[in-house]
C-alpha cells in the first residue's frame, strides 16, 4: 500500500483509509460485530493504516468496534475520531464543542478506542456557539497533555480553518469530496495547499452511487439514511447516471471499476488527499484498495474534466436541516 503525508504534518497514513461509520449506522442495518472486526483486521493485512470513526457513530458503538478490532495493532495504525456532536434525550443530534464537553469526550473516546492518545481528533461540525479559538485552544491543551496527537476539523469553512490554524496547527480537514460534490475545489483546496493541511474526503464514492451499483430502481433498507437524501430520489438517481457512465467508460479502458476510477481521480488531484471509502464487504474493501494502483494519465484526467464539466448533478447532497450544519 502506498502512503501519504497529511500536508506539512508528520502524520503519514495509507493512501486510502477506511471509513467505519457505515458498519454501525446510516447505511441500513449494522454489520455483524465479529464480521466487522474481521473486515477491519483484513484491511490492516492489506496495508490500510488509517481508520475513521466518531463518538456519535452509534453513538459510541463504532468507537468500541474500532477499538476492539485494532487493539492488536497499536502503534501500527492511525485512528481518527471526532467530538462535538451529542444526542439529547429525544435522540436529536446537537452540536456541543464547549471546552468542558471536549474534555469529557476525549476521555470517553480514549477508553472506547483502547488507546493512550488519539492520533487525529476532529471537531465533527463547527459549533457557532463556541469560538473556534476556544476549541483549538482546548485541543492544543490535550496535545500538550499527551491525550491527542493531531487536530482536525470536519466540514469547516476556510475562515474557520484559518482562525483555528492560528491557535493550533490543523493537520487535516475532513470534507465530502468526489466527482459529484466538487465545491471544495472553489476555496477549500487552495486554502489547504497554502496552509499545508491534508484533506480527507468522506463519501468519495458518492455514498455508493459512483460504484455503478445503484440506479433508479434500487431500494434501500428502511433504516438507510439515503432514503431522505434529495440526491437519492429515483428521479435524481436516473438523471445522475451520466456521471457513472463517464466513470465506466474510463474504467473499461483502464481495466478497472467505476469505483476505482472515482478514487483514483481523487488521489490524482493532490498528493495530500487521502479518501476514506466505507464498506461492510470484503470484496468492496479489496476493490477500493486496488484504486491506489490505477494510474490516470494527464489525458485521462483531461477527458474526465471535460466530460464532467458538461454534467449537472441533480439533487442536493443533504436535506436542508443537515446542510445547515456544514461549512462556515
Mean pLDDT, residues 216-234 taken together: 96
Whole-number pLDDT of residue 328: 53
Whole-number pLDDT of residue 134: 98
Whole-number pLDDT of residue 107: 98
Phi, psi (rounded to 5 degrees) for 140: -60, -45
What 3-state class would DSSP assign to 188? helix
Mean pLDDT, residues 61-73 taken together: 98
Whether residue 305 contacts residue 297, with contact meaning beta carbons closer than 8 Å, is answered with no
Whether residue 159 contacts residue 180, with contact meaning beta carbons closer than 8 Å, is answered with no
Mean pLDDT, residues 233-242 taken together: 97
| Catalytic residue (one of 57, 121, 122, 177) | 57
Whole-number pLDDT of residue 323: 65
Read off the pLDDT of residues 178-215 as tens digits, 9 standing for 90 and up. Answer: 999 999 999 999 999 999 999 999 999 999 999 999 99
> Confidence band (pLDDT; 50, 70, 90) for 1?
very high
Mean pLDDT, residues 71-85 taken together: 97
For residue 59, pLDDT over 60 is answered with: yes
> Confidence band (pLDDT; 50, 70, 90) for 45?
very high
Whole-number pLDDT of residue 326: 53
For residue 168, pLDDT over 60 is answered with: yes
DSSP annotation string for 263-310: HHHHHHH-TTB----B-S-HHHHHHHHGGGG-PPPHHHHHHHHHHHTT
Whether residue 135 contacts residue 165, with contact meaning beta carbons closer than 8 Å, is answered with no
Which among 200, 198, 218 is positioned nearest to 209, based on CA atoms?
218
Whole-number pLDDT of residue 327: 59
Do the bridges between strand 198-202 and strand 170-176 make them parallel or antiparallel, or are there none, so unpaired? parallel
Alpha-carbon span 170 to 267, nearest angstrom:
21
Whole-number pLDDT of residue 325: 54
Domains of the chain from N-terminus onward: 3-210+269-294 (3.20.20.100)
Whether residue 168 contacts residue 134, with contact meaning beta carbons closer than 8 Å, is answered with no
Per the listing, cell 433508479 goes with 216
Read off the pLDDT of residues 255-306 as tens digits, 9 standing for 90 and up. Answer: 999 999 999 999 999 999 999 999 999 999 999 999 999 999 999 999 999 9
Based on the number of CB atoms within 10 Å of its own CB, is 274 exposed (0-12), middle (13-18) or buried (19 or more)? Answer: buried
Mean pLDDT, residues 66-92 taken together: 94
Q: What is the mean pLDDT of the chain?
A: 96
Alpha-carbon span 188 to 173, nearest angstrom:
9
For residue 118, pLDDT over 80 is answered with: yes
121 included as an active-site residue: no
For residue 245, pLDDT over 60 is answered with: yes
Whole-number pLDDT of residue 87: 86
For residue 319, pLDDT over 90 is answered with: no
Amino acid at each position: 500500500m502506498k502512503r501519504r503525508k497529511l500536508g506539512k504534518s508528520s502524520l503519514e497514513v495509507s493512501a486510502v483509509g477506511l471509513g467505519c461509520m457505515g458498519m454501525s449506522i446510516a447505511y441500513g442495518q449494522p454489520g455483524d460485530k465479529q464480521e466487522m472486526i474481521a473486515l477491519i483486521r483484513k484491511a490492516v493485512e492489506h496495508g490500510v493504516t488509517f481508520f475513521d470513526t466518531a463518538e456519535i457513530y452509534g453513538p459510541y458503538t463504532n468507537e468500541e468496534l474500532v477499538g476492539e478490532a485494532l487493539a492488536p495493532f497499536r502503534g501500527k495504525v492511525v485512528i481518527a475520531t471526532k467530538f462535538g456532536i451529542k444526542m439529547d434525550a429525544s435522540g436529536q443530534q446537537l452540536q456541543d464543542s464547549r471546552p468542558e464537553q471536549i474534555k469529557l469526550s476525549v476521555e470517553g473516546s480514549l477508553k472506547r478506542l483502547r488507546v493512550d492518545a488519539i492520533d487525529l481528533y476532529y471537531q465533527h461540525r463547527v459549533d457557532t456557539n463556541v469560538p473556534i479559538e476556544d476549541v483549538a485552544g482546548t485541543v492544543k491543551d490535550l496535545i500538550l497533555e499527551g491525550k491527542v496527537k493531531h487536530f482536525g476539523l470536519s466540514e469547516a469553512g476556510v475562515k474557520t480553518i484559518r482562525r483555528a490554524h492560528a491557535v493550533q496547527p490543523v493537520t487535516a480537514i475532513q470534507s465530502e469530496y468526489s466527482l459529484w460534490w466538487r465545491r471544495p475545489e472553489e476555496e477549500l483546496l487552495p486554502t489547504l495547499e497554502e496552509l499545508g493541511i491534508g484533506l480527507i474526503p468522506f463519501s468519495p464514492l458518492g455514498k455508493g452511487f459512483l460504484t455503478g451499483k445503484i440506479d433508479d430502481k434500487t431500494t434501500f433498507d428502511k433504516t438507510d439514511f439515503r432514503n431522505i437524501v434529495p440526491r437519492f430520489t429515483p428521479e435524481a438517481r436516473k438523471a445522475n447516471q451520466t456521471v457513472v457512465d463517464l466513470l465506466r467508460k474510463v474504467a473499461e479502458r483502464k481495466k478497472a471499476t467505476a469505483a476505482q476510477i472515482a478514487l483514483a481521480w481523487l488521489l490524482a488531484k493532490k498528493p495530500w488527499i487521502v479518501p476514506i471509502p466505507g464498506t461492510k464487504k470484503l470484496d468492496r474493501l479489496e476493490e477500493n484498495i486496488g484504486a491506489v494502483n490505477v494510474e490516470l494519465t494527464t489525458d485521462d484526467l483531461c477527458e474526465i474534466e471535460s466530460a464532467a464539466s458538461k454534467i449537472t448533478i441533480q439533487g442536493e447532497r443533504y436535506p436542508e436541516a443537515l446542510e445547515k450544519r456544514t461549512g462556515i
